[in-house]
Homo-oligomer: A and B are copies of this chain.
Amino acid sequence: MQKKNSATIYDVAHRVGVSLATVSRVVNGNSNVRDSTKRKVLDAIEELGYHPNAVARGLASKKTTTIGVVMPDITDVYYSELARGIDDVANMYHYDVLLTNTDEDPVRETMAVNNLASKQVDGIIFMGNELDHEVVNTISGVNAPVVLAGSVDSEKKLPSVNIDYVEAIKEAMEAVIKNGHDRVAIVTGPVEHAINGMHRLVGYKKALEEAQIEFDDSLLFSTHQDYAAGLQVAEKILATGATAALTYDDEVAVGIMNYLRDHGKKIPEDFEIITSNDTKFTIITRPQVTSIGQPKYDIGAVAMRMLTKLMNNETIELTQVKLPHTLERRGTTLN
């Protein structure tokens, strides 16, 4: 049971009969303090139940040992796994995490970043499908390092860690094409978003090109990222005569799958599906969903590690990190 009115560094100093500076030194473990006095101070701290006031510390030292995390939605399994990676290494380096949900709204993203700045965070990790120009601007204006996790900025100005989306989608496409499909639907988010237009779609088209299949834009679908959206888009996909689909969201994939099965399609025999995020959803369904494998936790962890270096003013050789991806073959694809 600790005391309600916590003691201050002054109380400790006074009790031991040393100066504030000395107490501060032992608390911060650094510098040279004689062992005997260090012990006395430590004892006093124990007895008084002294806990340093982090706010005062932050003001004096200009470091808060707090980082900000900006994410679309804590409820989204994909992002929450990134966040877990972030949090774990943040703790490892003794940083606390200030969390903000933005629902990918640029306005809220901007506000979040500014707010974090005013809270004097030592660094920021930013997640989100698209980096609005405005958002990039305010990010670069902030007086703290920022790294993107699982997000790309088209100008590649900001440090980031991702997988190679182009390559990943291309490989998924190749796998499907190899299985004999030449009409494969691709469902993503808004094409204006770089990650869709400049990565997913590009990978898709590359695979098409190599297989000498004409691109048909009626096979391109844009949806929300949820189960219901999958259910809805499935019918339209069927109407195009597509026999396979690549999806950017696991819930959407499952929605499509369930719809198709309910309408008499056999999966994977009649229709193949490959999704992108390899979340739990792909495991618990029957059949399980084939997916691009992303080291989600690691993306977060590496991003955070990178941030610690930046905050420490270490120079970083590579600022655009691409982590390896895989193709997890499961029940929605043949062989």
Contacts and interface: CB of A to CB of B under 8 A. Distances in A.
Given A59-B59, A284-B251, A119 B66 contact: yes
Nearest to A296: B75
Contacts of A100: 87, 96-97
Report copies per complex: 2
Contacts of A187: none
B77 A74 contact: no
A127 to B, nearest CB: 13
B53 A55 contact: no
Contact of A75 (B3, B6, B55, B81): B81
A138 to B, nearest CB: 7
A54 B119 contact: yes
Interface residues of A, number: 57
A251 B117 CA distance: 39
Determine which residue in A54, A69, A117 has the highest number of CB atoms from chain B within 10 A of its CB, and name it. A54
Given A87-B99, A97-B99, 14 more contacts: A4-B141, A5-B143, A51-B117, A55-B58, A55-B59, A56-B59, A74-B87, A96-B115, A97-B98, A99-B99, A251-B280, A261-B286, A280-B281, A281-B284
